[in-house]
Amino acid sequence: MLQKTIVERLNEEIDALQDRINLIQAQCSHPLIVRQTENKGDTGNWDRGQDSYWTTHVCPLCELRWDTDQNWERTGDGRGMPKKRDT
Ligand SMILES: [Zn+2]
């Protein structure tokens, strides 16, 4: 049986560290008092139906970054909490 290469071992360490980061981000409440939000848009498209608007959220505690609809404060869907782990 072949021994694992250094790169294989390092990739295993990276995977384990990424799992720890994912766990920390899953357990963080991303409090609004520290969360940074920025409204963004893609406008001026020839087809105005292609224009879009969104809010980018960044949590400085766990460094998670995700996008929501700009109505996130009004829709009350978890106060703009991320719905997917990898966004
Ligand atoms: Zn967070």
Task: Give per-residue pLDDT as tens, 9-38.
Answer: 999 999 999 999 999 999 999 999 999 999
Look at residue 5 and tell me whether its pLDDT is greater than 90: yes
pTM: 0.75
Residues 6+ apart with CB under 8 A from 11: none
Burial label, 57 (beta-carbon count in 10 A; 0-12, 13-18, 19+): buried
Tell me if 41 sits within 8 A of 48, measured CB to CB: no
> What does the domain layout of the chain look like in residue ranges?
6-74
Residues with CB under 5 A from ligand 1 (ion): 28, 30, 59, 61-62
Estimate to the nearest angstrom the gap between the alpha carbon of 27 and the chain centroid: 13
Report the separation in Å between the CA atom of 30 and the middle of ligand 1, taken as the mean of its atom positions. Answer: 4
Residues forming beta bridges with residue 37, ordered by sequence position: 57
Report the separation in Å between the CA atom of 65 and the middle of ligand 1, taken as the mean of its atom positions. Answer: 9
